[in-house]
């Protein structure tokens, strides 16, 4: 089942009558109380666009991260990072965004303050870093280095690399289990998955999966890990217990390269880069129940927040798919040089105030 693309309509930020009401409220309650009320409204998503989720998208075309208001489609900030910025991930507390700069030599990770919309640190890692994942408590960041066949382990408090773990050939993406005990790494060049023990920072298992494994996600209940096999048009389902292993294989669309779960685990969304669709998998039956057209060329990454799936596209658009109705809305993200070339996406559901750049 597919649905037509709908364009995002732009709406005014604050109407004149609303502005007058806000000024009256400010006079009555005082600045401190007004600010507290505004913060609460932002967290609740109130205010006709104020507090709408902000999507952080990496644009390899101009080596920036665009911050996009998903309510009105406006780009509220453009943040310069390293060359060939390929992926972005938010820390669990949403205060930082880590960006892999795949074209830097040596490879680097830019750390962005999500309130200031500015880079606060640059971390040197392995060659061609391609993805970042965080421990659930946020104390460690794990970076897949596709050019050096390693994973860098970063202490997020000090931004220091504290360990380097050899894995398989061409590690593409990685995910941390919900208990924080394991990191699952897809090795695109060796058609395997490496399982890292986070206590010892050592590989404890290597599992054969499909051809060119790329995307990986752990279900919110921690029971299973899904791996997209781009060269086989399948998803491998892994158990994540004491003895990890492949327990099922699911056929999906062409060139699957990313996967994300809905918050309560009943569905997994798999983006298919070669046919611009999303396969929606029922995790109980392990079958594809719906196929949604993303409306953009070459979907590259997916993340799910609440009841919305956010999909970035190489063609420069961001799709927002309602996970209840499967209707896709499209936002055009314009780059500094040309229309954005988007390769990664992360979403902050409760953005704070920041200066527009």
Whether 15 and 22 have beta carbons less than 8 Å apart is answered as no
Neighbour count for residue 309 (Cβ, 10 Å): 26
Whether 258 and 270 have beta carbons less than 8 Å apart is answered as yes
pLDDT at residue 19 greater than cutoff 70: no
Average pLDDT estimate for 115-140: 97
Say what the pLDDT of residue 61 is: 84
pLDDT, one tens digit per residue, over 312-335 is 988 888 999 999 999 999 888 865
Say what the pLDDT of residue 40 is: 38
pLDDT at residue 16 greater than cutoff 70: no
Q: Which residue has the higher pLDDT, 40 or 117?
A: 117
pLDDT at residue 4 greater than cutoff 60: no
Is the sign of the CA dihedral 97, 267, 179, 246 positive or negative?
negative
Whether 143 and 101 have beta carbons less than 8 Å apart is answered as no
Q: How far apart are CA 43 and CA 246, in angstroms?
A: 40
Q: How far apart are CA 63 and CA 206, in angstroms?
A: 34
Q: How far apart are CA 318 and CA 312, in angstroms?
A: 5
Q: How far apart are CA 312 and CA 68, in angstroms?
A: 12
Say what the pLDDT of residue 43 is: 38
CATH number, span 6-348: 2.130.10.10
Question: In the chain, what are the domain boundaries?
Answer: 6-348
* pLDDT-based confidence at residue 45 (cuts at 50, 70, 90): very low
Bridge-based pairing of strands 6-7 and 328-332 is: parallel
* pLDDT-based confidence at residue 123 (cuts at 50, 70, 90): very high
Average pLDDT estimate for 127-138: 98
Q: How far apart are CA 204 and CA 285, in angstroms?
A: 30
Cα angle, residue 211 at apex, residues 210 and 216 outer, rounded to 5°: 65
Q: How far apart are CA 140 and CA 162, in angstroms?
A: 9
Say what the pLDDT of residue 253 is: 97
Q: What is the DSSP string of 241-288?
A: SSS-EEEEEEE-SSSEEEEEE-TTSSEEEEEETTTTEEEEEETTTTEE
By three-state DSSP, how is residue 28 classified? helix
Say what the pLDDT of residue 297 is: 79
Is the sign of the CA dihedral 331, 336, 339, 341 positive or negative?
negative
Percent of the chain with pLDDT over 90: 71
Whether 96 and 112 have beta carbons less than 8 Å apart is answered as yes
Is the sign of the CA dihedral 47, 49, 51, 52 positive or negative?
positive
* pLDDT-based confidence at residue 252 (cuts at 50, 70, 90): very high
Find the helix or strand (DSSP H, E) in which 305 lies: strand 299-305
Q: How far apart are CA 190 and CA 205, in angstroms?
A: 14
pLDDT, one tens digit per residue, over 280-290 is 999 999 999 99
Say what the pLDDT of residue 183 is: 98
pLDDT at residue 97 greater than cutoff 90: yes
Q: How far apart are CA 252 and CA 228, in angstroms?
A: 9
What is the distance of C-alpha 77 from the center of its chain?
Answer: 18
Whether 252 and 272 have beta carbons less than 8 Å apart is answered as yes
Bridge-based pairing of strands 108-113 and 96-101 is: antiparallel
Whether 292 and 304 have beta carbons less than 8 Å apart is answered as no
By three-state DSSP, how is residue 18 classified? helix
Look at the chain and count its residues: 357
DSSP state at residue 47: S
Say what the pLDDT of residue 298 is: 87
């Amino acid at each position: 089942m597919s649905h037509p693309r709908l364009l995002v309509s732009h709406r005014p930020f604050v109407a004149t009558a609303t502005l007058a009401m806000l000024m009256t409220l400010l006079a009555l309650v005082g600045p401190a109380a007004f600010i507290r009320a505004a913060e609460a409204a932002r967290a609740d998503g109130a205010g006709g666009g104020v507090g709408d989720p902000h999507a952080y998208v990496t644009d390899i075309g101009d080596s920036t991260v665009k911050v996009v208001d998903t309510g009105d489609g406006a780009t509220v900030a453009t943040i310069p990072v390293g060359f060939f910025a390929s992926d972005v991930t938010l820390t669990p507390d949403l205060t930082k965004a880590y960006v892999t700069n795949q074209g830097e030599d040596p490879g680097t990770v830019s750390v962005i303050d999500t309130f200031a919309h500015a880079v606060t640190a640059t971390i040197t890692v392995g060659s061609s870093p391609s993805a970042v994942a965080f421990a659930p408590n946020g104390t460690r960041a794990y970076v897949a280095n596709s050019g050096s066949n390693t994973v860098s382990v970063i202490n997020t408090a000090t931004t220091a690399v504290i360990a380097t773990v050899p894995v398989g050939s061409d590690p593409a993406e990685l995910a941390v289990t919900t208990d924080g005990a394991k990191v699952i790494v897809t090795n695109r060049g060796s058609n395997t998955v490496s399982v890292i023990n986070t206590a010892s920072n050592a590989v404890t298992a290597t599992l054969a999966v499909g051809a060119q494994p790329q995307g990986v996600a752990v279900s919110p209940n921690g029971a299973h890990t899904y791996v997209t096999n781009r060269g086989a048009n399948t998803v491998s389902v892994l158990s994540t217990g004491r003895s990890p292993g492949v327990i099922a294989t699911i056929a999906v669309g062409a060139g699957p390269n990313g996967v994300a779960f809905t918050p309560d685990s009943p569905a997994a969304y798999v983006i298919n880069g070669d046919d611009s669709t999303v396969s929606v998998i029922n995790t109980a039956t392990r079958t594809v129940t719906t196929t949604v057209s993303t409306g953009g060329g070459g979907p590259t990454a997916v993340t799910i927040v609440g009841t919305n799936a956010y999909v970035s596209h190489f063609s420069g658009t961001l799709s927002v798919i309602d996970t209840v109705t499967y209707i896709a809305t499209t936002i055009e993200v314009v780059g500094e040089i040309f229309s954005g070339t988007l390769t990664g996406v992360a979403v902050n559901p409760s953005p704070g105030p920041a200066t527009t750049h």
